[in-house]
Amino acid sequence: MQLRVIDTLEEAFNVKPLWQDLYQRAENAHIFLSPAWNLTWLDTYRHLISRLQFLCVFHSNGQMIAVLPLYERKGEPFRLRFTGTGEPEKSEVFSEYHDVLVCREHVDTVTAILIEAIKSTGKGLVLNNVKHDALLLRLAGEAYPPSLVDNTVAQKRYFMTLEDDGLAGTKLKKKAKRYYNLFTRLGGQLHICSDPASLDAFYSVLTDLHRLRWEGEQQNTIFDDVYFNRFHQSLAGQLLKQGTLLLAYAEVGGKPVSAFYGMKSGDSVYFYQGGIDSGFSPNISPGTLIHYLMAEYAAGQGMKGYDFLSSGVKQSYKQSLAEFSEPVYSTTAYASGWQKLLIKALAFASGVARKAGLR
């Protein structure tokens, strides 16, 4: 097996077929580790990137068997970030569940190779939204001294299984039962995008309902950001072609009342973003309703999991709908003690400057 470090955008796009092949074979594959998500991010946010540091492991037969897509952000010469992270908050795409994409049978060999590769960079790591069982946590723990690794529980992941009896007995079904019955009596319909010609119309329904949801609470929504919007318009088109896009809305009396934007990945559905008309009358709790409709759809398609993704550790509406939760970690690792002191000092100075209105 051989390590190859990819450090340019051109090289990253050139290995897309090999990456896609690995994505189809790896047991831990999910949308946020896909070439579609990560390469679209690279193309959209290339202005943030100083250089790439993709750590790729190849078999002697030429197959890619692991990829850890990292990059150095401009102005951060001492650390690496996972691709899909590090944007300004107003443009953040909220990539989740960062990890090494790897075939299970090669985990031990790949781990040893990547630990040495990470050490050789001489840089630290900044990781967000890492699941407790991620190989990436193990790598950070073994590539850096314990005193130079900070792990914190940043959020919680909320999810439920759809196997066996599907939604039977779930909190979601119990909460949605009355709303679904009313939705049915009112002649409500669920529309799911399947035709590229209708993609723009579905996307407009999503963004309109998202803005309606936050109207009055904030002047702009995330979909008003040019980079965020560009990223998702490009991604949605790719996912639709692949048959993995889930873009839908519930309609009552010819009026959209709630929208769902997510993805099918492996045997699970991931809810990414939505929008609701909370003022619709009679009250059918459009947010709960769209989750129920899409979970029912997913179960009918043979999906085994429904993932709400993560939210803050405090009370979240996802907690009231999901059956299970687990911690999601943020990890910062420093290559040396002096780098840790310097980075923390710079961060402190930047914070002071912001408060003083100097930047």
Question: Tokens at residue 45, please?
Answer: 């946010």
Other CB atoms within a 10 A radius of the CB of residue 238 amount to: 16
- Please tell me the distance from the alpha carbon of residue 60 to that of residue 156, in angstroms, as a whole number: 39
Q: Looking at residue 219, what is its pLDDT?
A: 67
- Please tell me the distance from the alpha carbon of residue 122 to that of residue 310, in angstroms, as a whole number: 31
Q: Average per-residue pLDDT in the chain?
A: 92
* Nearest by Cα to 137 from 7, 328, 354: 328
Q: Which residues pair with 209 in a beta bridge?
A: none
Give the dihedral of Cα atoms 133, 82, 307, 156; nearest 10 deg: 70
- Please tell me the distance from the alpha carbon of residue 325 to that of residue 25, in angstroms, as a whole number: 27
pTM higher than the cut 0.85 = yes
- Please tell me the distance from the alpha carbon of residue 353 to that of residue 347, in angstroms, as a whole number: 10
Q: What is the pLDDT of residues 208-238, one digit of tens each?
A: 999 988 776 666 788 999 999 999 999 999 9
Structural domains in the chain, CATH included, are 2-155+328-355 (3.40.630.30), 163-303 (3.40.630.30)
- Please tell me the distance from the alpha carbon of residue 115 to that of residue 44, in angstroms, as a whole number: 29
* Nearest by Cα to 288 from 251, 321, 264: 321
Q: What is the pLDDT of residues 306-351, one digit of tens each?
A: 999 998 766 678 988 999 999 999 999 999 888 888 888 877 776 6
